[in-house]
Amino acid sequence: MKAHKYLFLASFIAIFSVASAADIDALMEDCNGCHGDNGVSQWGDVPTIAGIDAFGTADALFMFREEERPCSESEYRQGDTSRVATTMCAVAADLSDDDIEALGDAYAELEFVAAVQDFDAALAEAGAAIHEQRCDKCHSEGGSNVEDEASILSGQWMAYLENSFADYLSGDRDQDKKMKEKLTALSADDISALLHFYASQQ
Ligand code: HEC
Ligand code: HEC
């Protein structure tokens, strides 16, 4: 009798965990409709999310869910493109805390692939010096070190990062206090140089 009870419990748990694993795949398939196969974006306004640290991705999703970070309406780029356009805030609103943690872990396991994009070499050189002086403390190795838990800047899409700068500077996106001091001290030319520097790392 007792043995049966455990057997029943064990199979229940097995079915349950298979179901939740399938869920994560289904969730990621939806994400990848905009973020690209394996989270590597082919579109300048959509960030690559593969390989970003688990904390950073989860934190971004929590912020979107609380609408503490601006989210723009976006069309699906691949797969079933008849799905209605949506926003990151609406996407995150449907996620549980567990979904968010699981998505952070899952994308952290995938490989970041730098975007192939045009850049100006002279601006990139100027940007490298500004980065080294003002940003590398928190965004080390040119903004590529995931251990900093400060996202990935090097090789991210320029148009997306340009929007990130604008959201920080307008105050629409909350940020680290110390980063704010550094960002507000930048001129428009400095920002442009930094964007070309990040884009140059391919
Ligand atoms: C309809 C398109 C779309 C879908 C679906 C979508 N995203 Fe996004 N995502 C975007 C866009 C566009 C941005 C850039 C911010 C903005 O413009 O709102 C973004 C930004 C993000 C960011 C911020 C990255 C950073 O470095 O700060 C994360 C993390 C993210 N998405 C994860 C996900 C996950 C996980 C899913 C699936 C549960 C998902 N997204 C589904 C379009 C989408
Ligand atoms: C005191 C640490 C610190 C400094 C200094 C700093 N940052 Fe950051 N930065 C962070 C952290 C942490 C994040 C992660 C996301 C967040 O908190 O919004 C981040 C995120 C970003 C993002 C958003 C990336 C995305 O995916 O949307 C950009 C762009 C950025 N930083 C640029 C810079 C630049 C340029 C400088 C130098 C002028 C700089 N940061 C200096 C800590 C810092």
What are 127-162's pLDDT values in tens digits? 999 999 999 999 999 999 999 999 999 999 999 999
Q: Which residues line ligand 1 (CB under 6 A)?
A: 27, 30-31, 33-35, 45-47, 49, 52, 57, 60-61, 71-72, 74, 76, 86, 88, 91, 103, 151, 160
Structure-model confidence comparison of residues 55 and 21, the more confident one: 55
pLDDT digits (tens, 9 = 90+) for 91-119: 999 999 999 999 999 999 999 999 999 99
Residue 182 near ligand 2, beta carbon < 6 Å: yes
User: What's the rounded Cα separation, in Å, for the pair 169 and 179?
Assistant: 11
Give CA separation, 159 vs 44, 156, 171, 177, 195, in Å: 5, 9, 19, 24, 9
**Which band of pLDDT confidence, cut at 50, 70 and 90, is reported for residue 85?**
very high
150 C-alpha to ligand 1 centroid (Å): 16
**Distance, CA 179 to ligand 2 centroid (Å)?**
6
Distance in angstroms (rounded) separating the CA atoms of residues 154 and 131: 11
Distance of CA 93 to the CA centre of its chain: 16
Higher-pLDDT residue of 72 and 3 is 72
Q: At CA 200, angle to CA 198 and CA 202, rounded to 5?
A: 100
Q: Could you tell me if 150 and 139 are in contact, meaning their C-beta atoms sit under 8 angstroms apart? A: yes
Task: Give the pLDDT confidence of 34-58 residue by residue, as tens digits.
Answer: 999 999 999 999 999 999 999 999 9
Identify the sign of the CA torsion 65, 69, 73, 79. Answer: negative
Nearest CA to ligand 2 atom 11: 150
Length of the chain: 202
Distance CA 195, CA 153 (A): 9
